[in-house]
Amino acid sequence: MKTEPDVFSWDDLELKKIASWDGVRNYQARNFMRDDFKVGDKVLFYHSSCADPGVAGTAEVVREAYPDPTALDPDSEYFDEASRKTGVSRWVMVDVSPVNRFSKLASLTMIRENAKLKSMALLQRGQRLSIQPVSAAEFAEIEAMGR
């Protein structure tokens, strides 16, 4: 999962202990959370749109997908008019908790340079999804880079 550290960083996650992953407003990303995120699943916590993009640590799913209430809140930056009209949020969120803080960032540059990771979704052309699938092998490789 991607996050802008200016908005919500790894440090914020550690401080908060449990974070509700609200604000996802892309159907494909939503479907990944809704269909594939199970309690106990591990996720890579990726810092994007910043000076040093890369994976800062790993987290785990502590609650499976449930409706994202910010879609119904007119005061939220994630407010969604279509959801308000139906009275039901069409967006979901999951809760995650920190697991492993990387001693060094697994930078995007390092990920690019690792031949074993060349087929990662993250590196594919035009890839912008904030939630992306990661294989077990890729996950292990990146975790090793962070040590």
Partner DNA sequence: GCCAACGTTGGC
Residues binding DNA: what is the number (CB under 7 A)? Answer: 20
Helix (H) or strand (E) holding 93: strand 92-107
Considering only 40, 74, 87, 126, the residue that binds DNA (CB under 7 A) is 126
Give how far Cα 33 sits from Cα of 1, 77, 111, Å: 10, 20, 24
Considering only 7, 28, 104, 144, the residue that binds DNA (CB under 7 A) is 28
Question: Within 13 A of 135's CA, how many CA atoms are on the CB side?
Answer: 9
Q: Taking Cα atoms as reference points, which of 107, 112, 111 lies closest to residue 52?
A: 107
- Residue 37 CB, nearest distance to DNA (Å)? 17
- Residue 20 CB, nearest distance to DNA (Å)? 17
Considering only 50, 88, 121, 137, the residue that binds DNA (CB under 7 A) is 50
Site string for DNA, 71-90 (x = CB under 7 A): -----------x--------
- Stretch of residues binding DNA (CB under 7 A), selected from 63-71, 86-94, 124-132, 134-142: 124-132
CA geometry: angle 119, 123, 127, nearest 5 deg: 120
Q: What CA–CA distance (Å, rounded) separates 65 from 87?
A: 18
Considering only 6, 125, 136, 147, the residue that binds DNA (CB under 7 A) is 125
| Whether the Cβ atoms of residue 64 and residue 94 lie closer than 8 Å to each other | yes
Residues that bind DNA (CB under 7 A): 2, 4, 25-28, 48-50, 53, 82, 108-109, 112, 125-130
